[in-house]
Amino acid sequence: MLAAISIVLILGAMIYPAIESISPRAERVVCENNLRNLRIAFSDYAVTGWPQIPDSITIGSLAEQQWWLDKTKQDLGLAQKSWQCPTLLRMFRKLPEKQRPLVHYLPTPFSGEPNKANTWPEMPWFIEIGDAHGCGVLLVRQNGTVEPAPK
């Protein structure tokens, strides 16, 4: 019995570092999928007209983030989780709740004219709010490509 327990502990000690290196990569994949899913969800907006933030709301504020959450929940059925990177979520847990961002991906403020978001294929549709993955801020373009922002 003691030998079996020792073997399990040795195997656990060998596997633990591998699991720790897999976790950040898995979180990045989830983050990239969130960006792609937001792009897919917003594809109808790109054709009909990009949502316009009311003039009374400051761009980049928590009020803007809440507006996006409410708008997309109502129009598209998106949950707040769709707007959050798991790595940033873990990092922001250390902050007081009032200082935590509500969304981790900011939409580009395109014109509300139909098809305007499709006019510039290189313009990102969403940009991650921080370099959570150590490769640069992630963004998603019109074609669904997720990549770090150019430095």
Residue with tokens 């976790």: 23
What is the average pLDDT value for the chain, to the nearest integer?
Answer: 91
pTM of the model: 0.84
24-27: long-range contacts at Cβ-Cβ below 8 A with a sequence spacing of 24 or more? 24/87, 24/133, 27/85, 27/86, 27/87, 27/90, 27/132, 27/133
Q: Where are the alpha helices (DSSP H) in 52-109?
A: 62-76, 86-92
Domain ranges of the chain: 28-49+57-148
Q: Does residue 12 surpass a pLDDT of 80? A: no
Q: What is the pLDDT of residue 98?
A: 87
Q: Residue 125's pLDDT is what?
A: 95
Q: Summarize pLDDT for 84-131 with one digit per residue, the tens.
A: 999 999 999 999 988 999 999 999 999 899 988 888 889 999 999 999
